[in-house]
Amino acid sequence: MQNYITIFDTTLRDGEQSPGASMNIEEKIKIALQLERLGVDVIEAGFAASSKGDFEAISQIAQHLETTAVCSLARALPSDIESAAKAIAKAKHRRIHTFIATSPIHMRYKLKLSPDEVLKKAVEAVKCAKSLCDDVEFSCEDALRSDMGFLREILPAVIEAGARTINLPDTVGYRLPYEIESFMQEVYNFVGESAILSIHCHNDLGLAVANSIAAIKGGARQVECTINGLGERAGNTALEEVVMILKTRKDLFCVDTRINTKEIYAASKLVADTTGIRPQPNKAIVGKNAFAHESGIHQDGMLKHRETYEIMRPSDIGIPESSGLVLGKHSGRAAFRDKVKALGFVLSDDELNSAFERFKQLCDSKKEVFDDDLRAIISEETTHIPQVFTLHIVQVSACSSGKYCAAVSIIQDNKELSDSALGNGAVDSVLKSIDRISNIQGKLKDYKVEAVTSGKDALAKVVVKVEFEDSGRAMIGHGIDIDTMNATAKAYISALNSYLSMRALMKK
């Protein structure tokens, strides 16, 4: 049995199924590039047959990655598989992941197929995928509630048909760790080394990571996971937790991964900032309190010897030991470039110049500029959504009637467009003004504002989720500014630009 664990990241597919976590193509490319820096072996970039947007995102990601394999999910249908093959065609390393449900409850009520019919479809799907791509993964959806006798039939058949990897999902997060380990051992006993066994756990009972670790003990050599445990319902196995368990407890596991753990924090922040879904403060590894010590006893122990209360160092996952002041208004371009590189960003010359200008503007209005300030402005400057609209001016004032009035100017095609509106609060008035200018009505579904760093002059970061007209899905927008209303307007316009970009793609 190999001593290497393949890390299969499905943040861009299963993770995006988390309510409100939809991402545009540019954001997906950005995350995919960070996952490659992280050292992920396989990225499940989407479900090519599900929409034009997913197909295009997979195709774009396939053209950007150098070392990480790009995978598309596909049902056990020839049309799905062919769509997946086309989407990943330009990738240097390709994989097709096809699946069909194998549990009695799924076969009877969802598929309405007999086990023999499911077996036939599975074999045909793998053969079809194998004819289009050498690397084929097959999943038994709801495997952990499937009959072992049926798995003894279908798994050897799909392996013979060409599947290299067999994925066994705990689709509803039902099983306990000792059950998973026993199950995986039994499967390994009849599959052996003929295919790599994979585990895909959901977190409905809070056991996704524990179950994935148990599966490794039972013989699994691929773990399917997401950054921050993002995913539908209660989420998926958290990549960062599995990786750090294997690294920290090498005394128990004779296995390793190719993950560069110093990129974990950057990946976590990028996914959180992009989706607007942040890990809870006490989340293992990447929560903001994960390395915080408030107890006097703990602090005393830490000062005397760090390992008294820390089994990992913040620097192990890429958190700087110090997040103090980094640059000031007199810092030059060379110093800025070095700092950007130290923070883990890879920028083109145009992106660097644009980010440097934003940094200089920030220095004029903010006394101290911290690492997180720089991360925020760089992330915003490197998100290449087509800018149909850009913010120019926002002015908000309270009215005697208890209402607020906002006057907003935005730029479209180098022309300044202005309008104003009354609203039930400052935010409402700003958004209504933008609706009037753009002539597109948006419905605010969620609104979050937080300080990027501490202090009265902290940058405000606003994340909004907006549903526009007949889009049928909420678009996420981001904005940062010293002024909260400016940040709000930028975030709303960001969501509007994403919507217009998606609408243009759908018309192609």
pLDDT in tens, the chain (508 residues): 679 999 999 999 999 888 777 788 989 999 999 999 999 999 999 999 998 989 999 999 999 999 999 999 999 999 999 999 999 999 999 999 999 999 999 999 999 999 999 999 999 999 999 999 999 999 999 999 999 999 999 999 999 999 999 999 999 999 999 999 999 999 999 999 999 999 999 999 999 999 999 999 999 999 999 999 999 999 999 999 999 999 999 999 989 999 999 999 999 999 998 888 989 999 999 998 887 644 444 445 545 556 665 788 888 998 865 444 457 777 788 888 888 877 777 788 888 888 888 888 888 877 677 777 888 888 777 766 778 999 999 999 998 777 999 999 999 999 999 999 999 999 999 999 999 999 999 999 989 998 887 777 788 889 898 998 766 678 888 898 889 999 999 999 999 998 888 888 777 6
CA proximity to 314, closest of 299, 293, 300: 293
Give the pLDDT score at 387: 83
CB 369 within 8 A of CB 362: yes
Give the pLDDT score at 384: 67
Angle value at C-alpha 192, between 186 and 194, nearest 5 degrees: 135
Give the pLDDT score at 22: 77
Which tokens in the block code for residue 451?
A: 């300080």
- Residue 288 phi/psi, 5-degree rounding, is -65, -20
DSSP secondary structure letters along 362-406:
HHHH-S-EEHHHHHHHHHHHT-----S-EEEEEEEEE-TTS-EEE
Amino acid 11 reads T
Give the pLDDT score at 310: 73
Count CB-CB contacts under 10 A for residue 5. 23
Alpha-carbon gap, residue 30 to 18, rounded angstroms: 19
Count CB-CB contacts under 10 A for residue 214. 23
Give the distance from CA 500 to its chain's centroid: 22
HEC assignment per residue over 103-172: CHHHHHHHHCCCHHHHHHHHHHHHHHHHHHCCCEEEEEECHHHCCHHHHHHHHHHHHHHCCCEEEEEECC
Give the pLDDT score at 306: 60
SS3 332: coil
The one-character DSSP state at 4 is B
Task: Report the relative pairing of strands 390-398 and 222-225 from DSSP bridges.
Answer: unpaired
- Residue 320 phi/psi, 5-degree rounding, is -60, 145
- Cα dihedral value 351, 356, 357, 359, nearest 10: 130
Distances (CA, A) of 397 to 199, 402, 408: 56, 11, 12
Give the pLDDT score at 321: 59
List the end-to-end C-alpha distance of the chain, in Å, as a whole number: 48
Which tokens in the block code for residue 290?
A: 């994960």
Distances (CA, A) of 459 to 22, 294, 391, 452: 25, 26, 17, 5
Q: How many residues does the chain have?
A: 508
Which H/E stretch holds residue 464? strand 460-468
Give 411: exposed, middle or buried? Use CB within 10 Å, 0-12, 13-18, 19+.
Answer: middle
CA proximity to 121, closest of 67, 84, 89, 80: 80
Alpha-carbon gap, residue 326 to 42, rounded angstroms: 35
Which stretches within 162-263 are classed as H helix? 177-191, 208-218, 239-248
Give 449: exposed, middle or buried? Use CB within 10 Å, 0-12, 13-18, 19+.
Answer: middle
Which H/E stretch holds residue 25? helix 25-38
Which H/E stretch holds residue 444? strand 442-451
